[in-house]
Amino acid sequence: MLKNITWRRAVGWLLALAILFFLGRTLWASWAQVAQSGFTFQFNLPLFALSLFLLVPGRTFAVEAWRRILRTLGNPISLRFAVYAWFVSNLARFIPGNVFQLAAMMMLTDAAGVSKINIVLSQTVYAAIALSVAALYGVTLLPIAQEYIPLIVAAFAALIILFALPAVFQIMLNVSTWLLRQVRRNREIVAPRVRITFWQGLVAPIFSLCMWTINGFAFWLFVRSLTEISVSAIPAFIGMNAAAYFIGYASFITPSGLGFREASLAFFLGAFFPAPVAVSIAFLTRLWSIGGELLGVGIAVWLKPKQSSVVSIQSSVSGLPSPISNNSSTMDGQQ
């Protein structure tokens, strides 16, 4: 098992470096043509600072969406503690495999008595919702989508309603539990039966939509801080930011989608800039995104609740009736 993880990690880094090498070669080979065209970058510090700051509230919407799912599973935690666990564990995303973030989150939430299996289930359900919204945002980049804007709006509304249905939420839990059972090879892990209303179910998909929208607008502001770009391009930038994240996440093998996200983003930006400019912006976007994550980590650590507050959460939860059926005891016993 350890050999497989080590081999996969090595392949992931090699693949990421190969993609970045070819992108860099494209940038180097054709930059002289851009210089001759008179294209120039211009740095706007206030817009850059605003774009960086917006990444924190944007991703906080994602935290709250996940926190609501976790609460439905019987593990309520405060928003401050959720923000701390989310942003700090996100640092592990740069390890290939996208699974080390879960391990870090389990360690960070253990003090609050959060079930490790519920961490996996809540993250899986949240990822399914968030990636579906990101994929639909990616569809808006298709030329034909511009001719059917009311249909696109209806598709977003339908997706949100679909994920808000209690039956769909339960299906996602069942599928997530089945996948976990296959990975752990433990047939005793049973899917929880939750009680959730349609209105409670609306939170995760709506907040995911808010997250992608704010992050995409922040991405437009970032590019605008580097060069001129029309306000009318904001919807396209929201779409390409979400689509690039989706492609990077789906790559799975590379650390935090490294290489795949840059390549896809450079392709999308090619509709607005010359190829080498698009590639350079894609590279800079990675650094900008990391800067936003580090800013979020700093704020999360600064606002981290005291240990006594975390313990009090665990104590208060123990006296509350669980929204999960008796199957949850079977799950917790497998930790």
pLDDT of residue 9: 53
pLDDT of residue 180: 84
pLDDT of residue 185: 76
132 in a domain, yes or no? Answer: yes
Token reading at 332: 């917790």
Determine the Cα angle at 182 with ends 179 and 184, to 5°: 110
331 in a domain, yes or no? Answer: no
Amino acid identity, position 94: F
Amino acid identity, position 232: S
**Which residues in the chain come in under a pLDDT of 50?**
1-5, 11, 13, 19, 308, 311-335
Other C-beta atoms closer than 10 Å to the C-beta of 220 total 22
pLDDT of residue 31: 53
Virtual CA dihedral for 16, 22, 24, 30, nearest 10 degrees? -160
Beta bridge mates, 194: 324
Amino acid identity, position 76: P
254 in a domain, yes or no? Answer: yes
Residue with tokens 């973030």: 101
pLDDT of residue 274: 82
Taking the C-alpha atoms of residue 25 and residue 12, their distance in angstroms, rounded to an integer, is: 20
Quote the strand ranges of 256-325, DSSP E.
Answer: none
93 in a domain, yes or no? Answer: yes
pLDDT of residue 15: 52
pLDDT tens-digit readout, 30-61: 555 555 555 677 889 999 999 999 999 999 99
Token reading at 41: 């970058």
* Residue range(s) defining the domain that contains residue 198: 41-310
36 in a domain, yes or no? Answer: no
255 in a domain, yes or no? Answer: yes
Buried residues in 23-59 as b, exposed as e (16+ CB within 10 A): beebbeeebeebeeeeeeeeeeeebbeebbebbbebb
Q: What is the DSSP string of 286-322?
A: HHHHHHHHHHHHHHHHHTPPPHHHHHHHHHHHHTSPP
- Give me the number of domains the chain comprises: 1
32 in a domain, yes or no? Answer: no
pLDDT of residue 252: 60
Taking the C-alpha atoms of residue 217 and residue 202, their distance in angstroms, rounded to an integer, is: 23
pLDDT of residue 225: 93
Taking the C-alpha atoms of residue 198 and residue 209, their distance in angstroms, rounded to an integer, is: 17
Taking the C-alpha atoms of residue 268 and residue 288, their distance in angstroms, rounded to an integer, is: 18
317 in a domain, yes or no? Answer: no
pLDDT tens-digit readout, 196-232: 999 999 999 999 999 999 999 999 999 999 898 999 9
Specify the pTM: 0.80
CA-nearest of 69, 40, 59, 28 to 291 is 59
Grouping H, G, I as helix, E, B as strand and the rest as coil, residue 206 is helix
Amino acid identity, position 165: L
CB 80 within 8 Å of CB 64 = no
pLDDT of residue 6: 53
Dihedral sign, Cα of residue 222, residue 244, residue 59, residue 135: positive
pLDDT of residue 256: 58
